[in-house]
Structures are given as structure tokens and as C-alpha cells.
């Protein structure tokens, strides 16, 4: 394949897909787990600070049940206030909410090694918190994200994700939502619903079933970038049903394991804009194998040496 300039489905973002023939995509070094096995950290059950606990959850058979906030219980997922928040509800100059979701009580268990049920439970918690935080009428924007591995910005080894909610909608997302609206006026449909239909027939498809689809986006900015979307047009993760969460968790687990096998740190995240039903929620999974250099910093155009078609093949294998 020769190099090719590609544009994002809707945003003004450009990437040059420039596969390097010699470097086979799947030859990356096998991961060496950097997670220390024996240490205890600030979000391990025995070290949790009582005043940071928002809510603890545990599985009772197949139901995730809220346990309240007493520290001395056995839990499966914990929601905490961030210990060092950059934004808080009592600061009008940097207003917002930062929460931490501890994804397992076990310090050394990697996210990709959690059960599908547990990962589906984490998705459910994202929905529960989104609903709760949306009740604050000042909040405009909720970002849920995960940093896994040092290069991806994780400061804690213990598997966790974070919620960042502000009264400020970042300008590029405002711009994106306007583009989605213009597309709808022009075509009478949601751009992402259309992308789902198109991508299911390309070599970029990784997996699809009745409920969700996973593919490598046409203009992947990151090596091995993946998107997961619900097939139903939902503007928030809070509306996923149990089957959708299960499907989502199953493919997310597999993708995170494949990225870990490559030895790469990764992020995943999704944006939720309150008051915009036109948006279609999607999760972006971005492995951090590339270092952006002069071209990227200067021009804003990213050069990606791993074509999304090759990356999808790797995930399907
Ligand atoms: Zn820990
Ligand atoms: Zn849609």
C-alpha cells in the first residue's frame, strides 16, 4: 500500500497512513508486565481513605449492588473522589467533578484480565455516574477515560478509570456537534449510524453483532486505534442495556488484551455532551505506540505507519 492522506469522518482532522513495509505490524515486542505484584497502593481496599469513598458496589449473583460507603466491606467496584482534583464544585474558576472508578479490589489484576461480567459492571457504573452527574445542571460535558500503562499517563498501577466533568464544553467538541447537526440536515441521518453501516463492509471491521460494532477508523490517528459503538443511536452510555454492555465488554476485553500483547500502553475514552441528543456515543481506544514529532506538532497532520486495515486484521486473528 502506498501512503494515503485521509480525513476523519466528520472532523477536520487529517492523517497520512504510511505503512512501512519492513516493520510488520504484529512484530511488536511481547509485553512485559510492569505491574508490581506485591505492593499495596492508595486505592487498594486496605488503604482506601474513608472520606474519599462515594459508593462501593459488589456482585450479588448477577446483580451489581450498591453497598453504601462504609470502608469495611468486601467490594468489587469502588467509586472515589479524586485525591488531587484539578477541578472541584467549590471552585467557580475551575468548576467540575473528578472521580476515580477502581475496577477491581485486586491490585495486580490487569483490566484485560478481568471477567467479562466485571467489565460489563464497570460500563454499568459509567452509566450510573453519568446519570447522577448530569443532574447537576451546570455540567455541560462528561469525559470518562482510562490510562493504562506509564506512557498513557497512568500514575497508579491498580486498574482504574476516571471521570472528568466540567461546566465547559471544549471548542473542538462544540465544533464536532455542529458538524454532526449539519450532516443530519443534509442527509437526514446520524453520521455515526451511517459510519457503522459503511464500516461493517470494510476490511477495517473487527467485530460486530446485533448490539455493537468495533472497527479501526478510516483515518486512524493512533497506531492500532479502535472505536466501539452501540448499533442503537444512543447519546449516552447510561442508556445501554444489559446485552449491549455484555457485547461491549467482551470485545473491549479482547482488544485491550491484544494491545497488551503488543507491549503498548493505551487509553480509552468517550465524550458525553449533555443537552445534545444528536450525538452518538462511542468509545475510542488509543494505544500509545507512536511519538508525535515535528510533522505532527507543526502541521497537526499525523503520520500513522500502521494502516487501520492491517491493525483490524491483527485484532481479528
Ligand atoms: Zn492497589
Ligand atoms: Zn447515530
Ligand approaching nearest to the C-alpha of 194: 2
Determine the distance separating the centroid of ligand 1 and the alpha carbon of 155, expressed in angstroms: 12
> Model confidence over 293-309: pLDDT tens digits?
788 888 888 899 999 99
Q: Would you mind telling me the total number of residues written for the chain in this entry?
A: 317
Q: Helix H segments across the chain?
A: 116-134, 171-187, 191-199, 242-261, 294-299, 308-316
Percent share of the chain, pLDDT over 70? 94
- Using only C-alpha atoms, the chain has a radius of gyration, in whole angstroms, of 20
Ligand approaching nearest to the C-alpha of 109: 1
Question: Is 293:4 a contact under the CB 8 Å cutoff?
Answer: no
HSE of 121, CA atoms in CB hemisphere, 13 A: 26
Determine the distance separating the centroid of ligand 2 and the alpha carbon of 234, expressed in angstroms: 7
Pick 299 or 64 by higher pLDDT. Answer: 64
Question: Is 304:25 a contact under the CB 8 Å cutoff?
Answer: no
- What is the pairing mode between strands 160-166 and 141-148? antiparallel
Ligand approaching nearest to the C-alpha of 191: 2
Determine the distance separating the centroid of ligand 1 and the alpha carbon of 109, expressed in angstroms: 9
58, 208, 244, 256 from 250: Cα distances, Å: 20, 11, 10, 10
Determine the distance separating the centroid of ligand 2 and the alpha carbon of 183, expressed in angstroms: 11
Determine the distance separating the centroid of ligand 2 and the alpha carbon of 70, expressed in angstroms: 40
CA 144, CA 100: separation in Å to the nearest integer?
Answer: 10
Question: Is 103:77 a contact under the CB 8 Å cutoff?
Answer: yes
Determine the distance separating the centroid of ligand 2 and the alpha carbon of 168, expressed in angstroms: 24
Determine the distance separating the centroid of ligand 2 and the alpha carbon of 127, expressed in angstroms: 18
Ligand approaching nearest to the C-alpha of 278: 2
Determine the distance separating the centroid of ligand 1 and the alpha carbon of 106, expressed in angstroms: 7
CA 97, CA 89: separation in Å to the nearest integer?
Answer: 6
> Model confidence over 199-215: pLDDT tens digits?
999 999 999 999 999 99
pLDDT at 56 over 60: yes
CATH 1.10.10.10 fits 4-27+38-316, yes or no: no
Residue matched to cell numbers 485484532: 315
Which residues lie at CB < 5 A from ion ligand 1? 41, 44, 107, 158
Question: Is 157:271 a contact under the CB 8 Å cutoff?
Answer: no
Ligand approaching nearest to the C-alpha of 39: 1
| Residue 299 grid cell | 502541521
Determine the distance separating the centroid of ligand 2 and the alpha carbon of 20, expressed in angstroms: 35
Q: What secondary structure letter does DSSP report for 98?
A: E
> Model confidence over 23-51: pLDDT tens digits?
555 555 544 445 444 577 889 999 999 99
Give the global pTM: 0.92
Percent share of the chain, pLDDT over 90? 71
Determine the distance separating the centroid of ligand 2 and the alpha carbon of 280, expressed in angstroms: 5
Question: Is 227:284 a contact under the CB 8 Å cutoff?
Answer: yes
Distance of alpha carbon 138 from the chain centroid: 24
Backbone phi, then psi, for 196, in 5-degree steps? -60, -45
Determine the distance separating the centroid of ligand 1 and the alpha carbon of 107, expressed in angstroms: 4
Q: Using pLDDT thresholds of 50, 70 and 90, give the confidence band for residue 55.
A: very high
Determine the distance separating the centroid of ligand 2 and the alpha carbon of 230, expressed in angstroms: 9
Amino acid at each position: 500500500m502506498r501512503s494515503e492522506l485521509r480525513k476523519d469522518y466528520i472532523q477536520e482532522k487529517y492523517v497520512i497512513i504510511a505503512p512501512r513495509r519492513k516493520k510488520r505490524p504484529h512484530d511488536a515486542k511481547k509485553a512485559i508486565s510492569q505491574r508490581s505484584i506485591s505492593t499495596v497502593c492508595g486505592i487498594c481496599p486496605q488503604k482506601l481513605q474513608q472520606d474519599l469513598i462515594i459508593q462501593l458496589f459488589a456482585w450479588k449473583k448477577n446483580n451489581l449492588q450498591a453497598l453504601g460507603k462504609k470502608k469495611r466491606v468486601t467490594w468489587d467496584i469502588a467509586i472515589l473522589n479524586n485525591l488531587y482534583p484539578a477541578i472541584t464544585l467549590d471552585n467557580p474558576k475551575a468548576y467540575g467533578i473528578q472521580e476515580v472508578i477502581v475496577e477491581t479490589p485486586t491490585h495486580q489484576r490487569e483490566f484485560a484480565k478481568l471477567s467479562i461480567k466485571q467489565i460489563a459492571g464497570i460500563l454499568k457504573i459509567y452509566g450510573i455516574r453519568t446519570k447522577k452527574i448530569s443532574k447537576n445542571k451546570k455540567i455541560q460535558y462528561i469525559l470518562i477515560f482510562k490510562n493504562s500503562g506509564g506512557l498513557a499517563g497512568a500514575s497508579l498501577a491498580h486498574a482504574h478509570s476516571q471521570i472528568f466533568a466540567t461546566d465547559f464544553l471544549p471548542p473542538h467538541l462544540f465544533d464536532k456537534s455542529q458538524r454532526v447537526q449539519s450532516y443530519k440536515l443534509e442527509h437526514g441521518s446520524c453520521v455515526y449510524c451511517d459510519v457503522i453501516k459503511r464500516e461493517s463492509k470494510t476490511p477495517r471491521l473487527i467485530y460486530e453483532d446485533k448490539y455493537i460494532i468495533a472497527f479501526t477508523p478510516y483515518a486512524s490517528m493512533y497506531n492500532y486505534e479502535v472505536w466501539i459503538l452501540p448499533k442503537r443511536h444512543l447519546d449516552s452510555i447510561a442508556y445501554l442495556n444489559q446485552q449491549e454492555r455484555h457485547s461491549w465488554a467482551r470485545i473491549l476485553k479482547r482488544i485491550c488484551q491484544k494491545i497488551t500483547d503488543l507491549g503498548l500502553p493505551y487509553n480509552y475514552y468517550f465524550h458525553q455532551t449533555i443537552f445534545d441528543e444528536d450525538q452518538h456515543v462511542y468509545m475510542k481506544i488509543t494505544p500509545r505506540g507512536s511519538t508525535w514529532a515535528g510533522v505532527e506538532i507543526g502541521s497537526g497532520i499525523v503520520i500513522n505507519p500502521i494502516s487501520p486495515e492491517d491493525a483490524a486484521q491483527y485484532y481479528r486473528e
